[in-house]
Chain A
């Protein structure tokens, strides 16, 4: 087990910067996720840790060992890093059986056949694959192939487990099951996990900490709770959770409360820091848009444009002046299309 430390890691391809000055310390046994849209540099970063990519600048440590730096002499090739990795395509070798795939790392280490067999059986049992030992990959389902890839990554007791979108090729139901299985597995064996995904709910469910990335940079690093409730910028807010972005005009600031004009009404927003400009953007989650038939303290008049019913909740399109907000409420409080109502915002964030 080991921590992973990235210091000012930069990777450039010609003029294109894939990763820019990225620093993080991932603790021993942590489940850490790199989250971002495709092309944000998350996979590049993971492959720097794996050793498939040489960093242009910066340093990568695994445990207390420097494995990568701009100075070529310190480069440790992937086969010497003692890592486990699960690829998006699984990369289960088609010409080897399940046993052959899972046992391969031990064969490289020249363990005796008996030890290899004992170890492989143990891992296959852990992953519920005992019956498939002699099968070839094309005789397995996607989920089974994925577990073979996981078994191959785990068998050598890696210091760190790297997971590159391992669930993205599974169907929706299996994907949700595997989230919990992975999480549980990590609780059991305590390995450090670096996880790459573009799926925010996957990241939220499994991670201890998340780095939200965009354009090669970390926009915010924090626990799922921090990232959801206190997004540091508009990108993070829009990437995680369902949010409304409303532009408004600051008309007054009193005792840490901003009075912001939206449409024809003025709402009060508690602000941690004083907004530096007059025209601002307010972010509010869909479920934090509170609707009522009567005027409540701090609410402004609005109109229901569209009402949809999802079984356990209602989704409304609410018109305020010429902007439309999405509101999500529990079932039981229903408003009709065209109805004039009142609206107020819970936990809004000012950008």
Chain B
């Protein structure tokens, strides 16, 4: 008995000693870790966004509301604000309408070819929006193929459709964004508890009645959430309104800010651009609140994870018409713009009719071998597309780990800070980066280098791996690492042996979710590039501005092929688990 007490006392002393020593060491290491996280957040988010606020709400160092006042007193600015909202509303209505109907057809009915349509319908989201805008120019510009066909068919003197301006922007933006609705609603349909509908059938409701009384109301929160995402995405888009709006002088907030930044002669141009950004941020923040509200309502829509073979609705006589309808949609929305680009890219000279004798591969040869900027752009973009996802994934692991497994003060704020760019459009992030780095900071000058582009990409795309990785962290019970610790693994070893392997799927999909948009990014790069640091997006955009239609087509086709092939490979390799949204 005495011996037992002695052993216990000894053990307690030993553990105290051990704790004391390692506690001191750990405390030092912990504060280093906290400092590292703070520095990262400061460089990526806190410093640039505070700079934006300061410049927007001050002149020559003294706070003022004059910038905002000046912005709001100019009619052209108010018109741009109105255009932004007006376009976003129409885009949202069209995208939600198309997305929900298509999602319903391919998940809940027995429409023909549904497995084929299911994947094909995502494609418009994979094609970079500025390329999509350029492709639609080939079809619907005054000399576009559709206009020529319509003029020929009806003997018209003038082209009947004009792609430039509001209608073009709305149509092309809706085509780019409907997959957002389509994908999220497809997932919700699949997750919806099938017994909700069966209970209504048993209660005496027919098939159509069930759709009206149960299916649609239960799906409503998901549809609302998707609608908000489309609205915010559409209001912060740059490529499409830049290509289809600027030539006609039809401006939205993003393009207006872009022009303000570029007008170096104007006094206070950065102050005004920053003030204007506040309007755009306001839209994003309101969207965030609405979405929070909508998804809170979703709580009462208990959508279970159990998707045990829900009933598929027999379309009966409408099976063929429905398939034909989707087929036409695919043909018009997906096939025709790509076909237009293919045809233009092999045409010898602009305006020649698409005949075999007028075809050539010269445009490809020219773009690939005679324009040095193209190779440079490919090299820069691929470098960014490989480095940025790796860094964001690495940082996401650190941030998520810090939030979940440490007691660093303010760790809950990390998530908010990293999520901020969701409400901040790319154009505004680009502007913040310019403001932050236009003068050397602590002797470091990265303006006009590739580094500023890289930092901007990281800030903008950080949220994707944060989401996927924190989602996979959530599925891991803390007892799993605790079990490793009990088994004798150090904290570091437990992380390497247990956590990392378990969050691997989140790492892979997070990486790819950044890789794709980074490869074809335009909005940030167009603001931050300098000679020699062009990205592919910048090169394509500049070529369209120079009117090099044939060459742009060739380059666009190469880019589309690369993007679609990579998506296909990743989809195959991951067994369909990694999808673009």
Q: A residues near B, CB below 8 A?
A: 50-52, 77-85, 87-89, 91, 93-95, 104-105, 108-109, 136-138, 149, 152-153, 156, 162
Contact = CB atoms under 8 A, between A and B. Distances in A.
A156 B204 CA distance: 9
B205 A79 contact: yes
B311 A94 contact: no
Nearest to A78: B201
Contact of A93 (B204, B214, B304, B306): B214
A163 B203 CA distance: 14
Contact of B198 (A78, A80, A82, A104): A78
Given A94-B218, A95-B220, A137-B300, A79 B203 contact: yes
Contacts of B301: 94-95
A95 to B, nearest CB: 4
A91 B203 contact: no
A144 to B, nearest CB: 14
A338 B392 CA distance: 65
Contact of B203 (A52, A95, A138, A152): A152
Contacts of A80: 204
Interface string B193-207: 101101111111110
B201 A93 contact: no
Contact of B199 (A93, A95, A109): A93
B204 A108 contact: yes
14 contacts: A52-B201, A77-B201, A79-B205, A89-B306, A91-B199, A93-B199, A94-B300, A95-B220, A95-B301, A104-B203, A137-B302, A138-B300, A138-B302, A156-B203
A103 to B, nearest CB: 10
Contact of B300 (A52, A91, A95): A95
Interface string B212-229: 011001101000000000
B204 A91 contact: no
A52 B312 CA distance: 11
Contacts of A152: 199, 203
Contacts of A104: 200, 203, 205, 213
B299 interface: yes
Interface string B169-209: 00000000000000000000000010110111111111001
A153 B203 CA distance: 7
B218 A91 contact: no
A95 B209 CA distance: 15
B204 A105 contact: yes
A257 to B, nearest CB: 51
B202 A136 contact: no
A158 B213 CA distance: 21
A78 B213 CA distance: 16
Contact of A78 (B196, B202, B217, B300): B202
Contacts of A94: 218, 300-302
A79 B195 contact: no
A87 B201 contact: no
Contacts of A89: 193, 195, 304, 306
Contacts of A87: 195, 198-199
Nearest to A100: B213
Which of A78, A83, A85, A104: most chain B Cβ within 10 A?
A: A78
Contacts of B199: 85, 87, 91, 93, 149, 152
Contacts of B214: 93
A52 B205 contact: no
Contact of A138 (B193, B196, B299, B304): B299
A108 B199 CA distance: 13
A70 to B, nearest CB: 18
A91 B195 contact: yes
A94 to B, nearest CB: 5
A87 B214 CA distance: 16
Contacts of B213: 104
Nearest to B201: A78
A114 B84 CA distance: 50
Nearest to B195: A91
Nearest 5 A-B pairs (CB), nearest first? A91-B195, A105-B203, A91-B199, A138-B300, A78-B201
A234 B227 CA distance: 58
Interface in B446-479: none
A108 B209 contact: yes
B125 to A, nearest CB: 30
